[in-house]
A and B are shown apart, each in its own frame.
Chain A
Amino acid sequence: MERAKIKRHINGWSLISFVMVILILLPSVEIVSNLIKPVNENWAHIKQYMLKVYIVDSIKLTIAVVLFTVIIGVVSAYFVTFYDFPFRRFFKWALVLPMAIPPYIGAYTYNGLLSYTGIIQTTLRNKFDIAVNQKYFNIMSLKGAIFILTIFLFPYVYLITKSFLEKQSATLVESARLLGKGNIVIFFKVIVPISRVAIVSGATLVALEVLSDYGVVSYFGVQTFTTAIFKTWFSLGDVESSVRIAAILMVGVVFVILFEKFMRGRRKYSYSNTKIKPVSRKRLTGIKKNIVVGFFTIIFLLSFLIPTIQLLYFASLTYKRVLNSSFITMSLNTLTLSIMAAIVITIISLVIANYCRIHEGTLSKIISKITMVGYSIPAAVIAISVILLFVNIDRNLKWFYIMINPNSKTLVLSTSIFMLFFAYVIRFLEVSYQAIESGYEKMGKKFFEASRLLGQNTLKTFIKIDIPMLKPAIISSIVLVFIDIIKELPLTLLLRPFNFNTLATRTFDYAADEMLQEAAVPAIIIILISIVAISFINRVDKE
């Protein structure tokens, strides 16, 4: 009996899952091991002068951004799914586009737009002779950071909620409509509760993005946990204390995750019907139509069109100087790396998610939560621990390298692209896992169980049943990770091998030297590539 139980737990799936989880945890071990050490003399200083302010600002920022992204994301997903209005098809697609703009680029752009030398103020000044109070044009503040992070992160909530509503809610909403319930009642009593899982997983992604953001907050001078980590680490030269702060941040993240679990509750929505019933949309007319179209137009302008036009203008000033053959090589580098990493990460999360859903229990719950670890630690901290890990691996493998090549240097893996690749896996597994997991959740276990009953093994079921049914989730996982990697900055900066540049690092290089106009060229290319990737998701969704 016992043996059978153990045997049931040990198979290829569990092995791969365990190995992955251990690999993910390895770099964190060093971080956690620092926590046991007693506090040093800097801690009092940090606690008194830094932590209080930073905690308060971090919490304010996170709560505000989550709140606004959920409102915008859910409301727009709702209207796009259940109503018909002019340009609906366009907006449905266009609201995903802000994902193509990394928030740090958005921050540079908006500051360029609103600043004293930006287009708005110069037009007012030169054409109309109006000098404005700088106070009203100041975006570099906590409020500004909330604005920037909201408009560029809400698509996470929008996308996940929309794809849930499209597939799962038609019957429920129609029943409610038949029962004579009003739109507002349906929204709060039906839509919000049933899409809770989707909304919360979108909101969790947003919260984690905000907590680990460094680009926007450091540019705007907003002081958050990440600022504190970097300040302590670099300015005070105190790695131990900065790790301690990172640990506090991780506690915060655990709260976010627990909150997610709590919101999900025990209820699972599993559907008996494989056919997805298309939603019948209500046509909007009159003032309601105008309000809805106006809402979508404003969101689209702010979160995509305005910043993109600004960047295009900047790029038009400088592209001749910036574009050359090494720029093209660099773009190709970026593409290859991002696509390959996205695929590998998706495969890993498929394996882990499949294992976790088959073996429900504490262990699998823990494993599925560990995928989040990488997303919750600031990238720079991951980077340093990954370097340490790889330098250790290399030193231990030296005999092997020398066996192959007597003149081999010691640092082989850690000077290759492999190290960066590995760090991407740690960092973005969560993004992919969320997509795959919610795909599985939607599917329920019925088909799996049916297939097993009909005598297929787990692998066959996985290939013949799960993967085809999960296709939309798989594709959105690949594309989401791809977009994340193409924008990724801190890991790439720290872990790249010699002479390796990506579009994001080039953007950063220019922006760090206060050359915003030059930075616009690689930034625009990042955005274009991401748009192509996003329209790909969209096409698959339609199929």
Chain B
Amino acid sequence: MNRKIKLLSITSALLLSASIFAGCAKTAEEKAPAQQKEQVVNVYSDRHYDTDKKLYEEFAKKTGIKVNVVEGKSDELIERLAREGQDTQADILITADAGRLHKAKEQGLLQSFSSDIVNNNIPQNLRDKDNTWAALTVRARVIVYSKDRVKPSDLSTYEALTDAKWKGKVLTRSSTNIYNQSLLASMIESNGKEKAKEWAKGLVQNFAREPEGNDRDQVKAIAAGVGDVAIVNTYYIGKMLNSQDQEEVNAAKKVGVFFPNQDTTGTHVNISGAGLTKASKNKENAIKLIEFLTSEEAQKLFAEANFEYPANPKVEAAELLKSWGDFKRQNIEISKLGEHNKAAVEIFNEIGWK
């Protein structure tokens, strides 16, 4: 009988400590603002790279401002921001896509800020026109091709991939992915909705297989001979070439990088960027962090560790990226990617791009 009573008392003790634990979490949080000593900036981020963490630590060392982070998927973070409204603790929203920043802005979750440093670091076309957000890195969505089976001279534009000669040879990931949605959104912007829909339809007819996997899987599929060309982001090639896994390196070596639409609209680029939240409680610190992240020092780390193009033009891209050569970027206002996102998704559904 004693044992049973013991069991019960242990359980109730645990229950009690659980509630105390919850209570402690509360009081600890309450004390923080009262002291007002520790300077903080709170970030909701969709970037999950170790580089970013290093940069936050660096920033804390320099300024004494601690960076608190909640990581998540951008859509969910935006939803959380919206629900928390003016009471949110978040000061900065970082997403890996311009469309999402635009969406947050449309929902009234961001505010304009003026910083000469940021304006100086980041060119105007990589910033929101109302300065609610600025790009941190630039990603190019390119065509990669099998070095064995495709001559680069066969390639020209995204549009040309709908040509009958590519039937059964085109690879890309699912349309649920934001990178494909933004690509189509950019085509809606430059070619109009009808043309964009025709293109998507034509591309689906040329698919080598139903869309599956991520960008790396498309590269592997080329190496395996499932298809000849794929639409992927450049930094994945960089990461594969530097992988621990020799087989990934081998697969990536089998493909070449081609920047499409050089004679027409330019290669599709997207950004990852940081926006200032409307309800920011640490506005000054937040701006300082954005200034730091766009600085040459921070941008170098972005460029080298992650194979993204730096958003700050004063910083050079990684050697590997430079070896692929310079390219003409799509010249559309980057926030249009967000405006056309819904139309893009509807087109994907209608034409059956899985």
Contact = CB atoms under 8 A, between A and B. Distances in A.
Report which residue of B212, B225, B226 has the largest number of chain A beta carbons within 10 angstroms of its beta carbon: B212
Nearest to A322: B50
B89 interface: yes
Interface in A92-116: 111, 115-116
B15 interface: yes
Contacts of A477: none
A221 B48 contact: no
Contacts of B8: 463, 467
B212 A407 contact: no
Given A467-B8, A493-B72, A499-B69, A409 B87 contact: yes
Contacts of A407: 33-34, 36
A270 B1 CA distance: 25
A49 B83 CA distance: 30
Contacts of B181: 235
Nearest to B7: A467
Contacts of B210: 141, 221
Contacts of A230: 176
Given A117-B251, A347-B11, A384-B80, 13 more contacts: A45-B349, A121-B224, A134-B226, A221-B211, A235-B181, A236-B342, A383-B76, A384-B79, A391-B84, A409-B89, A412-B29, A494-B72, A512-B73
A236 B36 CA distance: 41
A431 B87 CA distance: 34
Interface string B56-84: 00000000000011111101100110011
Interface stretch (B18-26, B111-119, B260-268): B18-26
Interface stretch (B138-146, B152-160, B239-247): B239-247
B217 A115 contact: yes
Nearest to B213: A140
A259 interface: no
A183 interface: no
A476 interface: no
B176 A408 contact: no
A218 B247 contact: no
A227 B73 CA distance: 15
Contacts of A221: 173-174, 176, 210-213, 354
B201 interface: no
14 contacts: A116-B224, A117-B223, A134-B224, A218-B176, A221-B354, A230-B176, A236-B342, A383-B76, A405-B34, A412-B26, A417-B25, A497-B70, A499-B68, A514-B236
A117 B80 contact: no
Nearest to B217: A115
Contact of A410 (B75, B87, B349): B87
A471 B21 CA distance: 26
A421 B22 contact: yes
Interface string B217-259: 1001101111000000000100100011101101100000000
A421 B349 CA distance: 37
A116 B220 contact: yes
Question: 8 shortest A-B CB distances, which residue pairs?
Answer: A117-B247, A509-B48, A234-B75, A49-B349, A140-B212, A498-B68, A235-B345, A116-B224
A487 interface: no
Interface in B11-42: 11, 14-15, 17-18, 21-22, 25-26, 29-31, 33-34, 36, 42
Given A116-B220, A416-B26, A317 B21 contact: no
Interface of A: 45, 49-50, 111, 115-118, 121-122, 131, 134, 138, 140-141, 218-221, 223, 227, 230-231, 233-237, 317-318, 340, 343-344, 347, 380, 383-384, 387-388, 391, 394-395, 401, 404-405, 407-418, 421, 463-464, 467-468, 471, 493-494, 496-501, 505, 509-510, 512-515, 517
A127 to B, nearest CB: 13
A21 to B, nearest CB: 19
A148 to B, nearest CB: 14
Interface string B171-213: 0011010000100000000000000000000000000011111
Given A116-B224, A499-B68, A344 B15 contact: yes
B18 A340 contact: yes
Nearest to B69: A499
A412 B30 contact: yes
Contacts of B36: 407
Contact of A414 (B34, B84, B250): B84
A468 B226 CA distance: 60
A415 B29 contact: yes
Contact of A387 (B71, B83, B174, B245): B83
B22 to A, nearest CB: 4
Contact of A111 (B25, B26, B213, B354): B213
A220 B29 CA distance: 41
Contacts of A501: 71
Contacts of A417: 21-22, 25
Contacts of A218: 176
Contacts of B68: 498-499
B251 A416 contact: no
Contact of B71 (A227, A413, A509): A509
A115 B245 CA distance: 13
B215 interface: yes
A498 B215 contact: no
B245 A117 contact: yes
A318 B87 CA distance: 40
Nearest to B25: A416
A49 B212 contact: no
B331 interface: no
B326 interface: no
B174 to A, nearest CB: 5
B9 to A, nearest CB: 11
A477 to B, nearest CB: 12
A237 B354 contact: no
Contacts of A340: 14, 17-18, 21
A517 B245 contact: yes
